[in-house]
Structures are given as C-alpha cells and as structure tokens.
C-alpha cells in the first residue's frame, strides 16, 4: 500500500513520518518533490542549492517512483508530501495509486511555527489553499471525501488518533508508532538540518497544545485567510 500524506509545513508531518517508519513494515520518503519545486519556481528557501544538488529534480521521475514499489520490499510505502510542492504542471497521476490522507493543523499554529524558521510567510507558503484544492481533486475522483486527520487530535491522544487512522486505511496499528529514537531518521531530507530540530530531540509525540498563539497583526491576518480552508477539511476529520 502507498500512503500519500498531504500537509502544509509545520503540521506535525515529520513526526507522522517517524511514526510510520517506526512500524517496521513501512518505507518512508521525505518530501519527494521539494527539490523539483525549488528548481521549477526559483523560490528562495533555506539550503536551496544543497537541496537541489542532493535530490531528483525531474517531477516525472519522482511521480513514477511514487507510483512504484516501496523501497526494500516493504508492504507499506509512506510518502510525506507538502501541498505547496505540487505546482501546476507536475504529474499528479500517481495520486490515483495511493491512499491519500490530509494532515491538517490550525493556521494560527502553523503561521507561528513557520515564521520562527522563515520570516514573512505568505498564504502560498503555508499550503492551505493548495491542500484544499488537492482534497477536492481526490474527492472528485473518489466520489467521497478522502481521509483527514488533525494534528491536534494526534497530540491530544496519539494512540487513539493513529489507531483510528490505521483502521481507516485498513492496516493494523502497532504501539511502535508512538515512539522513535532521538536524533532523526536515515530517510530525512538534507533540509532536516534547518527544519527538524524539535522533532530530532523528540522520542514521541509531544503533549497537547495549549491556547492558540497570539500573532502580530500581519500574521493574524494571514491565519485568518487560511482559516476557511482549514475548517472545511476539519469537518471531515477522523473522529477518535
């Protein structure tokens, strides 16, 4: 089974990749289209040149690998995708061969976390519009809403949330998904050095989050513009 997990940045996405990697029967791929996205758009991101140099930049080849067999012959192939990377012109046909899941997080938390790593984010940077578009594309093909899981539900009760997700995917849950070694994973992208500091210090999911962060006006406006997209997907989230 191929599992394509679609999220914006700062959405608990790396911790979820670690959880699936910890199962023992699952190969993982960290942001397959990141280098292709940077090369095609010319956008300036931390470590841009290193990312492009170290990774495949042909979106057609990447898509073919996403639709292929899991590395090392594992029965599960978990792909951590950023919605912002799927720009027009990139081959999305591989999505039809995957179980597509949408990982969401409240925009205020996303904006606060993103701005600490890269100042001045825009609506295009945080991925909510792109996530909603991809959700609609998958829903149109399936004739029903695809799976949605909220990072807040995972943080509130990781075992219940991951058990519910695994049940919805038709795979068994294992307690191994709740813990992983500190220090990162061999499948981490080269960009982990900039983005993954907190999750590298972790050995499992963090405790539930508190109140929403207070944002300065320009960031509060950004979160407000993303909120309708988040709420629309949240209406379909897996209940635990």
The predicted pLDDT at position 74 comes to 96
Task: Count the helix, strand and coil residues of the chain and give each as a percent rounded to the nearest 5.
Answer: 50, 15, 35
69-109 pLDDT, tens digit per residue, is 998 899 999 999 999 999 999 999 999 999 999 999 999 99
- Strand arrangement of the beta sheet that strand 2-7 belongs to: 26-30, 76-82, 2-7, 99-104, 147-150
Q: What are the extents of the domains in the chain?
A: 2-234
Fold classification of 2-234 is: Rossmann fold (3.40.50)
The predicted pLDDT at position 27 comes to 97
The residue among 99, 77, 82, 101 whose CA lies nearest residue 5 is 101
pTM, full prediction: 0.95
Report which DSSP code applies to 236. T
DSSP H/E element including 10: none
Are 61 and 13 in contact by the 8 Å Cβ rule? The answer is no
Q: What does the alpha-carbon distance between residue 205 and residue 180 come to, in Å, rounded to a whole number?
A: 9
| Mean model confidence pLDDT for the chain | 95
Q: What does the alpha-carbon distance between residue 202 and residue 208 come to, in Å, rounded to a whole number?
A: 14
| DSSP notation for 99-151 | EEEEEE--HHHHHHHHHHHSSS--HHHH-HHHHHHHHHHHHHHHTS--EEEEH
């Amino acid at each position: 089974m191929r599992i394509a997990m679609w999220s914006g940045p700062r959405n608990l996405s790396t911790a979820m990749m670690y959880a699936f990697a910890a199962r023992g029967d699952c190969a993982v791929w960290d942001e397959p289209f990141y280098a292709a996205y940077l090369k095609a758009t010319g956008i300036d991101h931390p470590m841009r040149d290193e990312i492009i140099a170290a990774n495949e930049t042909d979106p057609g080849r990447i898509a073919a690998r996403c639709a292929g067999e899991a590395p090392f012959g594992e029965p599960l192939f978990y792909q951590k995708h950023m919605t912002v990377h799927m720009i027009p012109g990139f081959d999305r046909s591989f999505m039809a061969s995957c179980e597509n899941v949408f990982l969401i997080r409240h925009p205020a938390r996303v904006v606060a976390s993103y701005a600490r790593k890269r100042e001045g984010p825009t609506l295009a940077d945080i991925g909510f519009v792109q996530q909603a578009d991809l959700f609609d594309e998958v829903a149109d093909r399936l004739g029903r809403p695809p799976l949605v899981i909220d990072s807040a539900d995972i943080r509130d009760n990781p075992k219940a949330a991951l058990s519910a997700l695994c049940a919805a995917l038709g795979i068994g849950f294992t307690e191994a998904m709740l813990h992983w070694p500190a220090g990162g994973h061999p499948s981490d992208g080269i960009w982990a050095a900039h983005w993954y500091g907190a999750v590298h210090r972790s050995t499992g999911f963090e405790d539930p989050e508190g109140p929403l962060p207070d944002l300065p006006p320009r960031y509060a406006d950004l979160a407000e513009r993303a909120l309708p997209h988040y709420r629309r997907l949240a209406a379909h989230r897996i209940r635990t």
